[in-house]
Amino acid sequence: MSQVRCWDPELSSWTSEGIEEAEWQPAKRVVRVHTTRVGAIAVVQDRARDLSYLSWRLTPIYDPDPLSEGVEGIDDDNGDAIDLSGNSTPEAELQLETPRFVIRLRIRGTKCRLLGPDLPELRGLLNAPSMGAGRLIMELERAGICLSPRDEDAARAVSFVGDNASNGGSDSGGNAHGGEMRQSGDDPDNESNNSRKGVTVKDRVLEETLCREVASVAAAFEIKSSRWNGTVGDGRAVFEVRETGAFTGGDGDSIDFKTTIMELDEVSDSAHDAPDVGLAPCPVKCALINGGADGGSGASVGHGGGKSELDTTRLPAEETHAYLLKCLSMTSCAEATERAQQSCCRFRKAVEQLLRITRPFSFS
């Protein structure tokens, strides 16, 4: 909940001492407050108010209309804009569903822009030109939406379980809630029986590898969150992947998502079953697995009251790989693999940077 606080220079923190009868008038955007203190007064809130993510989704975008001034955000080594056709423009959309909002971020070239939610506080950003990922997230934080979680925020983030845990937003890749304030009736400041405080931050090496590998396929594959991700510990991450139909004119929903696990080799089933073999040279590996109720076909029954559990056995004829694209190429068409391979490296770095800042693998 947002609260009015005064800055205490001696404590180097915000304090409520000496502040009474704070009243917020949304229509006039005015805060009235009685105070006996002198100094900076502000409306503040917990950094973790919009954490953790109920779901997230990264979707390739096909835009047949090129920008008149060329591809925004892509420069050559001399700093001159590179003019590419609309068909070659690398573009993707990251959708983050928080306890309060559904945030839509569009990555085009090396720059990002905000698409939603459509709120008065964000009108300036919605109409602003594209900018770097770091600057956009900083501007969102100044507007009251913090999407740059730190490790210390994990203890205060609300982890959603059961029916409150969404799985990747709407299957169409659009905005699950129209981009507005969530209308589920849930107050994000009140914990329910299906939520608890605290999330498990992924291992640093694993998280960095996840961001890099997911960015490497973002031009051709749709990636979304999995309800299993928060249950597998800090050495593993689970997400859903499917080949996009945006570039072929097909219905993307006709292609099933595949459950993918990326894990540290030291915590993998193979390391547990054959400890004498040693670890792989690459510390992180990935595989397509049977999964469970949210996307995979092989849900197994556990001992905890009949709840389904994640089935980590690999799909038939599948192998583990160090690179996500290699893993996906075994079950994808050649055009999708080629599109991912030929995507602009600066676009991939922009996607990777946005994922590193927002940290959906640790905070979902």
| Cα separation, 96 vs 105, whole angstroms | 8
Backbone angles phi, psi at 275, to 5 degrees: -65, -25
Q: How far is CA 61 from the centre of its chain?
A: 16
Q: Examine the domain organization and report whether 105 and 220 are in the same domain.
A: yes
Q: Which stretch of 39-43, 158-162, 180-184, 225-229 has the lowest confidence by average pLDDT?
A: 180-184
Q: Which stretch of 120-129, 198-207, 244-253, 338-347 has the lowest confidence by average pLDDT?
A: 244-253
CA distances from 32 to 8, 15, 22, 36, 75 (A): 20, 17, 6, 13, 48
Q: Which stretch of 187-191, 208-212, 262-266, 311-315 has the lowest confidence by average pLDDT?
A: 187-191
Q: Examine the domain organization and report whether 19 and 70 are in the same domain.
A: no
Q: Examine the domain organization and report whether 179 and 37 are in the same domain.
A: no
Q: What is the pTM of this model?
A: 0.81
Q: Examine the domain organization and report whether 274 and 145 are in the same domain.
A: yes
Check residues 206 and 269 and name the one with the higher pLDDT.
206
- What torsion do the CA atoms of 313, 314, 315, 319 make, to the nearest 10 degrees? -170
Q: Is the peptide bond before 270 cis (omega within 30 degrees of 0)?
A: no
- Please, what's the b/e burial string for 292-320 (b: 16 or more CB within 10 A of its CB; e: otherwise)? bebbbebbeeeeeeeebebbbeebeebeb
In a domain, 299, yes or no: yes
Could you give the 3-state DSSP secondary structure of residue 55?
strand
Q: Examine the domain organization and report whether 54 and 36 are in the same domain.
A: no
In a domain, 27, yes or no: yes
Q: Is the pLDDT confidence value at 191 over 70? A: no
Q: Examine the domain organization and report whether 282 and 312 are in the same domain.
A: yes
| Cα separation, 134 vs 357, whole angstroms | 7
Task: Say which residues have a Cβ less than 8 Å from residue 82's Cβ, sequence separation at least 6.
Answer: 70, 71, 74, 75, 76
Residue 259: which of 168, 347, 333 has the closest Cα?
A: 168
In a domain, 364, yes or no: no
Q: Examine the domain organization and report whether 87 and 22 are in the same domain.
A: no
Check residues 101 and 17 and name the one with the higher pLDDT.
101
Query: What is the tally of structural domains in the chain?
Result: 2
What's the confidence (pLDDT) of residue 318? 82
Q: Are 328 and 318 in contact (CB under 8 A)?
A: no
What's the confidence (pLDDT) of residue 1? 65
What number is the average pLDDT over the span 23-42? Answer: 83
Q: Is the pLDDT confidence value at 21 over 90? A: no
The model's pLDDT over 52-71, given as tens digits with 9 standing for 90+, comes to 999 999 999 987 665 433 44
Q: Containing domain of residue 126, as a range?
A: 49-358
Residue 122 corresponds to which tokens in the numbers above?
């964000």
Q: Is the pLDDT confidence value at 41 over 70? A: yes
DSSP collapsed to 3 states, 278-343? CCCCCCEEEEEEEECCCCCCCCEECCCCCCEECEEEECCCCCCECCHHHHHHCCCCHHHHHHHHHC
In a domain, 65, yes or no: yes
Q: Examine the domain organization and report whether 12 and 119 are in the same domain.
A: no
In a domain, 363, yes or no: no
In a domain, 303, yes or no: yes
What's the confidence (pLDDT) of residue 133? 97
Question: Which strands form 311-314's sheet, in the order they lie side by side?
Answer: 111-116, 102-108, 91-97, 55-60, 221-225, 236-243, 258-264, 284-291, 311-314
The model's pLDDT over 231-254, given as tens digits with 9 standing for 90+, comes to 999 999 999 999 998 777 665 567
Q: Examine the domain organization and report whether 125 and 24 are in the same domain.
A: no
Q: Examine the domain organization and report whether 251 and 155 are in the same domain.
A: yes
Q: Examine the domain organization and report whether 120 and 264 are in the same domain.
A: yes
What's the confidence (pLDDT) of residue 200? 92
Q: Which stretch of 14-28, 163-177, 289-303 has the lowest confidence by average pLDDT?
A: 163-177
Q: Can you name the residues that pair with 92 across neighbouring β-strands?
A: 60, 107
Q: Are 285 and 269 in contact (CB under 8 A)?
A: no
Q: Examine the domain organization and report whether 11 and 145 are in the same domain.
A: no
